[in-house]
Amino acid sequence: MRILVTGAAASGKSAFAENRVCELGGELVYIATMLVRGSEDAARVLKHQNERAGKGFTTFEITCAADLQHIANELPQDACVLLEDLANLVSDTLFSRDGTMREASLVHDEILTGLDALALRAEHVVLVGNELGSDIAPEGLETKQYLKLVGGTAQQYAARCDEVFEVVSGIAQKIA
């Protein structure tokens, strides 16, 4: 089963997705996509680690979508994967370490190929998505391309999903 959980920043989507994965059961796998770039990022990562503590997750930390293929090969058949989150995965795959931007269509395809590889191997894949750009108009070509890539990738993944949830103020609503 494939599931997309989306929502705005601090909407409660991470907690909902984690609870959903634990309900589904199996070998719990957490794929972390956030590259820590400062103390705020480190605090956020620590918060998520503390929330998962004692729940039996095996954690993989990745730096780009190509890593998903490698992880898929290591998954047990009963794996229940929580991948958090799409916006970080897009950012880390789209922009190289030196700040240059890769071709968006290649990044889009690479991410979907990686998600498909996970779904072929795991029993369940839950992706935490992001509702970005709905409250402010983006400035700059790179930001617009990034937002379009996150939204377009989420749409393509949602079309492949068995369930799609939007979380608002900690309340999840099944939308598909």
Which residue ranges make up each domain of the chain? 2-174
Q: Are strands 171-174 and 163-168 parallel, antiparallel or unpaired?
A: antiparallel
Whole-prediction pTM value? Answer: 0.91
Name residues whose C-beta falls within 8 Å of residue 100's C-beta, 6 or more positions apart in sequence: none
CA neighbor of 90 nearest in space, from 68, 117, 108? 108
Residue 138 banded pLDDT, cuts 50, 70, 90:
confident
Region of 7 (left: φ > 0; alpha: ψ -120 to 50; beta: rest) is: left
The answer to whether the bond into 85 is cis (omega within 30° of 0) is: yes
Pick the CATH number of 2-174 from 3.40.50.300, 3.30.1490.190, 3.30.750.210, 1.10.540.10: 3.40.50.300
What number is the average pLDDT over the span 153-158?
96
User: Would you state the pLDDT for residue 135?
Assistant: 65
